[in-house]
Amino acid sequence: MVTEITQGIKVSVETEYQPSYSSPSQYHYVFTYKITIENQSEFTIQLLRRHWQIFDAGFSSREVDGEGVVGQQPVLEPNETHNYVSGCNLKSGIGKMVGTYLMERIVDGTRFEVTVPEFHMVAPLRLN
């Protein structure tokens, strides 16, 4: 698990290779990642947008932007957490993601970016 804290917002990520959804012979490797967002600040916040950079070893990188996460724009009171699971497919079986969330403080509308820590995705069979 990797973790990073930005302005009192703690983001933790765990990844898992999904062999039953992958097909290495066709260069298709599927990973899931579980993200936990914990509001350790004194303000109520809302997650508005996400931005991802996805790096696939030996292949071109790609960027993904969008509203919220998995169709939600969660509001977190102080000391509340939000968990979600999403996925990523790679061609090489080895890659990494890094990103940001755009958050807003409900009390005054101040917007700020929260860093999602860089996390790696490696299919176990690629380690041999």
- Quick one: pLDDT at residue 127? 67
Does domain 2-127 sit in CATH 3.40.50.1370?
no
pLDDT per position in the chain (128 positions), as tens?
999 999 999 999 999 999 999 999 999 999 999 999 999 999 999 999 999 999 999 898 999 999 999 999 999 999 999 999 999 999 999 999 999 999 999 999 999 999 999 999 999 976 66
Spell out the domain ranges in the chain.
Answer: 2-127
This prediction's pTM: 0.94
Angle CA(96)–CA(10)–CA(83) in degrees, nearest 5?
Answer: 75
**pLDDT on residue 12:** 98
pLDDT of residue 126: 67
pLDDT score of 64: 96
